[in-house]
Amino acid sequence: MDQLGSDVLMDADYDEKQLTPTDDDNDNVAIITPDDGDSMIDDTDADVTTEPALPLATDHDAIRDRFMPPYDEYETEAEAVFTWDITNWRSLPKRTNGPVFHCAGHPWRILFFPFGNAASEAVSFYLEQGYGDEKPPEDWYACAQFMLVLHNPNDPQMYIHHEASHRFTAEEGDWGFTRFAEKNRIFAAKYDGFDRPLVEGDMARVTAYVRVLKDPTGVLWHNFVNYDSKKETGMVGLRNQGATCYLNSLLQSLYLTGAFRKAVYQIPTSTEEERASSNSAYALQRLFYRLQADPLAVSTQELTHSFGWESRQIFEQQDVQELSRILMEKLEARMKGTAAENALPNMFVGKMKTYLRCINVDYESSRIEDFWDLQLNVSGCKSLDDSFKNYVEVETLEGENKYMAEGYGLQDARKGVIFESFPQVLHLQLKRFEYDFQRDAMMKVNDRYEFPEIWDASPYLDDTADKSEPYIYHLHGVLVHSGDLNAGHYYSFLKPEKNGEFYRFDDDRVTRAAKREAIDDNFGGDYATNGLNGLQKGQNPYTRQWSTKRSNNAYMLVYVRESRLDQILPPENEMQAPRHLPTKLAEERTAAEKRKKDRDEAHLYMNVQVATEASFKAFQGVDLIPWGADNEETEPAAPKTYRLLRSWTVSDFSDFLTKQYGLERDLIRPWIMVNRQNGTVRPDHPLLWDNMTLQEAADKFSTRTGGFRVFVEETTRNAEGAPVWPSEEVSVPSSPVVNGTAQQQHIPIIIFLKYFDVDKQVLSGVGHIYMNPSEKAQDLAPHILQLMGWEAGVSLELYEEIKQTYIERMKPKNTLVASEIQDGDIVCFQRHLGEAEIAAIRHSKPTACLDAPAFYDYLINRIFVSFTPKFAPPQQNFEVRKEGDEKFTVALSKKDNYDTLAHKAAEQLSLVTTASIDPSHLRFTTANAQTGKPRTLVKRQAGTTVSTILFGTSGNYGGGGYSYNSSATAQAPDHLFYEVLEMTLTDLEQRKAIRIIWLSDGINKETAYEMAMPKQSLFSDVLAALQKRAGLPDEVVQHVRFYEAHGNKVYKVLPLTHSVVALNEYMTVYAERIPAEEEAEVEAGRQGTMHDAEGEVGSDIEVEEEDARSRRSKSRLVHCFHFEKEPSKPHGVPFLFLLKEGEVFTDTRERLSKRTGIKGKNLEKVRFAVVKGGQGFAGRPVWVGDDDVLASMLGPDDHLGLEHPNRQRGNWARYESLNIR
- Please indicate whether residue 489 is annotated as part of the active site: yes
E strand residue ranges, 501-564:
502-506, 509-513, 538-539, 546-547, 552-561
Rounded Cα distance between 645 and 693, Å, is 9
Cβ burial, residue 996 (10 Å; 0-12/13-18/19+): buried
**Amino acid found at 681:** V
Contact in structure between 137 and 172 (CB atoms under 8 Å): no
What are the CA-CA distances from residue 693 to residues 385, 648, 649, 684 (Å)?
A: 82, 5, 4, 18
Rounded Cα distance between 513 and 493, Å, is 8
Closest CA to 348 of 318, 367, 327, 320: 327
Alpha carbon of residue 431 to chain centroid: 25
Closest CA to 990 of 1001, 998, 999, 981: 981
Name 999's bridge partners. 1006, 1072
The sign of the CA dihedral 568, 569, 574, 578 is positive
3-state DSSP call for residue 901? helix
Rounded Cα distance between 250 and 943, Å, is 58
3-state DSSP call for residue 960? coil
Contact in structure between 854 and 848 (CB atoms under 8 Å): no
Closest CA to 636 of 618, 653, 649: 618
Closest CA to 417 of 458, 361, 369: 369
Rounded Cα distance between 398 and 411, Å, is 7
Contact in structure between 485 and 443 (CB atoms under 8 Å): yes
Residues in the chain: 1221
Q: What single DSSP character describes residue 388?
A: H
Rounded Cα distance between 130 and 144, Å, is 14
Cβ burial, residue 697 (10 Å; 0-12/13-18/19+): buried
Alpha carbon of residue 566 to chain centroid: 35
Rounded Cα distance between 948 and 953, Å, is 4
Rounded Cα distance between 842 and 517, Å, is 84
Q: What angle do CA 229, 78, 132 make, to 5 degrees?
A: 70
Rounded Cα distance between 304 and 287, Å, is 11
Active-site residue, from 245, 358, 381, 828: 245
Phi-psi region of 280 (alpha: psi -120 to 50; beta: other; left: phi over 0): alpha
Rounded Cα distance between 239 and 723, Å, is 63
Classify strands 1199-1203 and 1115-1124 as parallel, antiparallel or unpaired: parallel
Contact in structure between 210 and 102 (CB atoms under 8 Å): no
Rounded Cα distance between 570 and 496, Å, is 10
Contact in structure between 1095 and 1112 (CB atoms under 8 Å): no
Rounded Cα distance between 543 and 244, Å, is 18
**Amino acid found at 325:** R
Contact in structure between 63 and 57 (CB atoms under 8 Å): yes
- Please indicate whether residue 746 is annotated as part of the active site: no
Closest CA to 112 of 217, 207, 31: 207
Rounded Cα distance between 542 and 545, Å, is 8
Rounded Cα distance between 1036 and 357, Å, is 36
Active-site residue, from 161, 489, 1058, 1131: 489
**Catalytic site positions:** 245, 489
